Structure 1
Amino acid sequence: MKFFDYFKERAIFILINIAILVASSGLLRVLRVDTYAIFFIFILNLIGSLIFHVYDYFNKNVYYKNILEDLQLLDKKYLISEVINKPTFVDGKILYEIIKHTNKSMKDEISKVKRDTVEYREYIELWVHEIKTPIASCKLLLENNESEVTRSINEEVEKVEGYIEQALFYARSNNLEKDYIIRELNLRKCINSTIKRNANTLIKKKIKIELSNVDKIVYSDSKWIEFILHQIISNSIKYMDKKESIIRLYCEEKKENVVLYICDNGIGMSEKCIRKAFEKGYTGENGRLYSKSTGIGLYLCKKLCKKLGLWINLLSKEGEGTTVSIMFPINKMMKI
């Protein structure tokens, strides 16, 4: 609160007060009161009024300044009503009550949204669980009646299964802390599991897999890591255009980190697409030209890596390929 602004707001009151003092002085003059007495009364009233306004300014300024300082320190700004003190002046008390009531209303609304979100997530998880049964039955029927047509149908069913899994992981991504266990795991096992899952597509498209130095021990949740690797490898498969298509996975140790690189020699990406690759719903030029894309895969990878305490980056060059790197921090505490 600025001193000038405070007095500017009270300019009318101050002018009225001065006018009353002048009128009172004139009346006292008509009543033949001594001029010195009139001057003394005028100055005394003026000083009294000024002292009141100065005190009122500093009282309110300290209060509002403390509120602003507390607000800056809070991560969740809406909790300001929990830390502010009740003021001693009337307009501050009114503001205090307004903040308290609006905060309560907001908390009630947040609780409702949270309940709705939990119910929606539980429904998605239940739906995914239930849909797995007919999908498994379809795959079994297709395997028992193998032909060129059923093989094509099976590929599409596997795509549907992948999208369903993506929906499940997306629904769980906001509450990841309740659904993961950090433990020691071998990256090779996660990579092999992901390659096996994509084996049919890799064989059909004649994509070669090269593994180098991937027997590294890291600390994370294998289920979520396999999902992340699946999203990245699926993207690599999707945007292959070379006669000799290769996906290369290798690890490097950098200080107290293990970095996993997933490299392909696909169509690559422009600089503009690289900057937006991890944005939600961004499909880019490749997503529109080469394959139907949801723009959710890499967004989920980024979000899940952040939740797991990992670091993910993407480098690419048009016509040459793309490299995605995932950094796993390894510190002494984890090794104990």
Structure 2
Amino acid sequence: MKRVIKSLLQYIPWLLLLLGIDLFAALLLWLADVQAFYALMIVIVLVTVLLFTLVCGVLIHLERKKEQAFLTFLHNPDEYHEELLLETVSVAQREYIRQLGKTLRDKQLAYTELQTQLSDYEEYVESWAHETKTPLSLLTLLLDNRRDELSPIVSFKLDYIRNRIQESVDQMLFYARVKSTRKDYLFEHICIRMCIEDVLDDYRPLLDEKQFQIQFRLSDDTVYTDRRGPYFLLGQIIGNSIKYCGEGPELCFSSFQRDGCYVLSIKDNGVGVRSCDLPYVFEKGFTGDSGEGRKKATGMGLYLAKEIAEGLNIILSANSEWGNGFEMQVAFPVVDENPY
């Protein structure tokens, strides 16, 4: 009803003019013959109501036809739909419609080209990341098989380099996935404890070098999510714990239930984050002011972790006290396997 009223409002001056002409004709009839006017008064009123109803109906029909043609034109602004829209508008409006059509087609063409470039970029990044993993795998194999032939210092440096390259490759790959319009998630039940142990194995040389004490207070529960997401999240969190550890480093994994979610807590005793920086740890490019080590950070790890988590309906929250460690809580929604 509101749309009908809005459609008629633009024709108010013309409707008032029509009403004025009708009243003027009635006035002339009254001046010419009062008796004839009274005799025809009912007919005049009925004809006036009928006339206005007919005019309003035609106007509403034309406005709806114009609206439908305009919406179709916006959805597909080609020349065919532009001509259909031009048939429903006045001559004065046609030049504006032609300019609008040309602009929309130019924007659509530019958008299509941009989408093609973005798709090519995504494919290139994914191909590059997978190709880079081959020499990384060879380096890992070399370190595993020839570690006894290397000095501890050289072995540690190679492990550090390998992990930094691996982190950078993973970040680039996941950044491309986050910005991609295609979401290739594969949801399945995974055991969080096994996932943590797999990620810890990747960082084992660095953890051993720093003499980390690992504590588990986990249940053997499973969560329903995409496997790659938790692996990436855990890798970023554990990597940060190694980078910003202190004396006698510890890493504690615990779990509990809260508000219908399975919550995984990852807590270390490192340098932590200043209270003024804590609200911004998930911001893109934010590194904070928590020591010399953060000056070399990119600020992308936790940002990507947050983006991946949102895509998987996982909630990340950070807690820290400056100089007294950092805690990340990862809340997985519990999926009811038998909803009915």
**TM-score higher than 0.5 here?**
yes
Contact 2:185–2:226 under 8 Å retained in 1: yes
Q: How many residues align?
A: 271
Matched residue, 1:114: 115
User: Can you give the 5+ residue segments of structure 2 that lack an aligned partner in the other structure?
Assistant: 1-58
In the TM superposition, what is the alpha-carbon distance from 1:79 to its structure 2 partner? 5.9
Cα 1:287–1:182, aligned 2, differ >3 Å: closer, same or farther? farther
**2:316 counterpart SS class:** strand
1:315 and 2:323 equivalent? Answer: no
Q: State which drifts further: 205-214 or 86-95.
A: 86-95
**What's the counterpart of residue 18 of structure 1?**
none
- The question of 1:156 aligning with 2:161 is answered yes
For residues 203-257 of structure 1, what are the alpha-carbon distances to aligned partners after superposition, in whole Å with 9 as ceiling and x for unaligned?
111111111134222110112211111101111111111x232111111112321
2:297 & 2:236 partners in 1: Cα distance? 12
Query: How many angstroms does 1:181 deviate by?
Result: 0.5
Cα deviation, residue 287, structure 1:
6.5
TM-score normalised by L of structure 2:
0.69
| One-letter amino acid matched to 1:108 | L
Q: Report the residue type matching 2:252 in the other structure.
A: R
Q: Which residue of 2 aligns with 1:300?
A: 304
Q: RMSD of aligned C-alpha atoms?
A: 3.5
Q: How does 1:111-150 map to 2 (within 5 A)?
A: 111-142=112-143, 143-144=145-146, 145-150=149-154
Amino acid at match of 1:317: E
Q: Which residue number in structure 2 is paired with residue 165 of structure 1? A: 170
Identity level (%): 28
Aligned 1:26-45 pairs, distance under 5 A? none
Partner Cα separation in structure 2 for residue 91 and residue 205 of structure 1:
77
Question: What is the deviation of 1:125?
Answer: 1.7
Equivalent residue for 1:261, pick from 265, 276, 279 = 265
Give the 3-state SS of the residue equivalent to 2:320 in structure 1: strand
Q: CA–CA distance in 2 between the matches of 1:304 and 1:335?
A: 27
Question: 2:329 — aligned with what?
Answer: 325
Paired residue for 1:180? Answer: 185
Structure 1 residues 94, 264: CA separation in 2 closer, same or farther (over 3 Å shift)?
farther
Question: Aligned partners of 1:228, 1:140: CA distance in 2, in Å?
Answer: 24
- Letter matched to residue 159 of structure 1: R
Task: Give distance in 1, aligned partners of 2:91 and 2:268.
Answer: 68
- Unpaired segments of 5 or more residues in structure 1? 1-58, 72-77
Aligned counterpart, 1:280: 284
Q: How far does the alpha carbon of each residue in 1:109-135 deviate from its partner, in whole angstroms, 9 at most, with x for none?
A: 121111111111211222222222333
More off after superposition, 300-309 vs 169-178: 169-178
Structure 1 partner of 2:203: 198
Deviation at 1:335, TM superposition (A): 6.5
Residues 71-102 of structure 1, C-alpha deviation per residue, up to 9 Å, x if partnerless? 9xxxxxx8697999766334544333333322
> Structure 2: how far apart are the matches of 1:176 and 1:209?
39
Question: What is the letter of the counterpart of residue 235 of structure 1?
Answer: N
Q: CA deviation at 1:194?
A: 1.2
Say whether the 8 Å CA contact 2:244–2:293 is kept in structure 1. Answer: no
**Is the alpha carbon distance of 1:91 and 1:192 closer, same or farther for their aligned partners in structure 2, counting shifts above 3 Å?**
farther
Matches within 5 A, 1:40-51: none
> What is the match of residue 20 of structure 2?
none
Residue in 2 aligned with 1:97? 98
Counterpart of 1:31 in structure 2 is none
Q: Please give the per-residue CA displacement for 1:30-84, whole angstroms capped at 9, x wherever unaligned.
A: xxxxxxxxxxxxxxxxxxxxxxxxxxxxx9xxx8xx99xx99xxxxxx8697999
What's 1:50 paired with?
Answer: none
CA contact (8 A) 2:159 2:206 kept: no
What's the secondary structure of 2:264's corresponding residue?
strand
User: Greater CA deviation, 295-304 or 258-267?
Assistant: 258-267
Match 2:217 to one of 212, 218, 226: 212
CA distance in 2, matches of 1:288, 1:110: 43
Q: Which residue of 2 aligns with 1:52?
A: none
Q: For residue 249 of structure 1, what is the amino acid of its counterpart?
A: F
CA contact (8 A) 2:255 2:265 kept: yes
Change beyond 3 A, Cα 1:285–1:324: same
